[in-house]
């Protein structure tokens, strides 16, 4: 039998048999305590740690900034733990200590059931808890820290998650249909990427760990559902890797397929990638918006240059440039049509042929939407 690990707040220690836990995650008191009860979370780690991944919904109010953390790390290596701890108190003493306590108290006032955490549940969260208590505020901390809780979130992927996949050619509206159902998880939204060579947004993608944490919490919160609705995806969404156990579940899950005519799909893609993006790039870059949008499209076309072949790549690139030079947005529909007919559609038809045994329904957008509604009512 694997060891038991106490891993929760200072005043509530829940013994979790990790071996049994992996097979009975629905009964996790820890995840229920942290995520089902909608508590606030304050991440005390340094900004550089926070950016690499945090607990969903956490606010970063670090006890140490990046440079301070680095300084203490050097002291720890050279002189040991006691010297490092002393240096830490020196760095956060005086006015900074009072500012930190004030910021923590302001955040805690928004949610009386908030939790604080650091990396392992050690000195940083213990010190913050003690300072707050001295100031008259009792706060609970996650004793296993971010590291311990993340390991349990990752175990969520090892549980069975019944899925219903939504498939269809590029531009049929798969993401749109997900947005209509509370039973869905939008993987592309979590990854901040549309899942193709043209999928980048202006804002960069989250860290891999952040994507996994967010997805794990979504899955845990939807554990009682009949089937979770997700888009049929590959292994990667941009640079984000879908966890292997979840990939394996997707690979054997039933699928519904949306079918739309070519002209409708071209219009959908034009709306999202040209019309909407023109507005978004204008907001972000002002007068430089068109130039930045052109650069984004050219980079995206270049990503699939080898797959397109030299001649087709040149043809598409020429039309993209012409649309901007002549300031005729409608021209973009020409290269969109070329890519659909000669690249994306053939690729999808091949992929779907390998999944046809799992397709349980296909039809127009309206037909599939109605079918899904009926499915969740039964």
Residue with tokens 């930190």: 100
- Single out the catalytic residue among 118, 156, 304, 340: 118
Question: In this structure, what token pair is assigned to residue 46?
Answer: 């340094």
Question: In this structure, what token pair is assigned to residue 210?
Answer: 């952040």
> CA-CA distance, 195 to 184, in Å (whole number)?
17
Angle at 239 between CA 70 and CA 284, to 5 degrees: 80
Q: Phi first, then psi: what are they for 64, rounded to 5°?
A: -130, 135
DSSP string, 138-187: --EE-TTHHHHHHHHHHGGGGS---EEEEEESTTS-HHHHHTT-TTB--H
Q: Kindly tell me the burial class for residue 133, based on how many C-beta atoms sit within 10 Å of its own C-beta (0-12, 13-18, 19 or more).
A: exposed
CA dihedral 27, 32, 34, 39 (to 10 degrees): 180
Identify the bridge partners of residue 6 per DSSP, sorted by sequence position.
15
Is 7 marked active-site? no
In sequence order, the 6+-apart residues with CB closer than 8 A to the CB of 48 are 66, 69
> CA-CA distance, 242 to 284, in Å (whole number)?
29
> What residues act catalytically?
118
């Amino acid at each position: 039998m694997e060891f038991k690990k106490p891993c929760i707040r200072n005043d509530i220690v829940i013994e979790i048999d990790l071996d049994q836990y992996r097979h009975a995650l629905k009964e996790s008191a820890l995840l229920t305590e942290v995520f089902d009860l909608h508590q606030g979370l304050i991440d005390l780690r340094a900004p550089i740690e926070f950016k690499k991944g945090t607990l969903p919904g956490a606010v970063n109010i670090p006890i140490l900034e990046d440079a301070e953390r680095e300084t203490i790390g050097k002291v720890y290596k050279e002189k040991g733990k006691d010297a490092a701890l002393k240096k830490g108190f020196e760095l956060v003493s005086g006015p900074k200590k009072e500012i930190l306590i004030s910021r923590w108290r302001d955040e805690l006032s928004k949610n009386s059931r908030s939790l604080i955490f650091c990396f392992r549940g050690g000195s940083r969260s213990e010190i913050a808890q003690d300072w707050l208590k001295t100031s008259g505020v009792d706060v609970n901390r996650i004793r296993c820290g971010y590291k311990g809780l993340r390991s349990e979130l990752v175990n969520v992927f090892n549980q069975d998650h019944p899925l219903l996949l939504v498939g269809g050619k590029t531009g049929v509206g798969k993401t749109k249909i997900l947005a209509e159902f509370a039973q869905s998880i939008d993987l592309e939204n979590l990854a901040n990427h549309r899942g193709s060579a043209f999928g980048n947004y202006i804002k960069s993608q989250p860290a891999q760990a952040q994507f996994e944490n967010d997805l794990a919490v979504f899955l845990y919160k939807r554990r009682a559902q009949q089937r979770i609705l997700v888009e049929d995806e590959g292994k990667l969404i941009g640079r984000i890797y879908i966890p292997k156990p979840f990939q394996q579940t997707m690979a054997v899950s039933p699928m519904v397929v949306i079918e739309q005519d070519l002209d409708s799909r071209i219009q959908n893609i034009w709306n999202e990638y040209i019309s909407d993006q023109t507005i978004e790039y204008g907001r972000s870059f002002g007068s430089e918006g068109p130039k930045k949008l052109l650069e984004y499209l050219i980079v995206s076309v270049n990503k699939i240059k080898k797959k397109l072949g030299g001649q087709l790549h040149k043809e598409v690139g020429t039309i993209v440039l012409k649309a901007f030079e002549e300031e005729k947005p409608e021209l973009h529909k020409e290269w969109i049509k070329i890519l659909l007919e000669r690249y994306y559609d053939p690729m999808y038809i091949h992929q779907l042929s390998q999944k046809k045994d799992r397709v349980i329904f296909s039809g127009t957008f309206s037909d599939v939407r109605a079918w899904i509604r009926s499915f969740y009512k039964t």
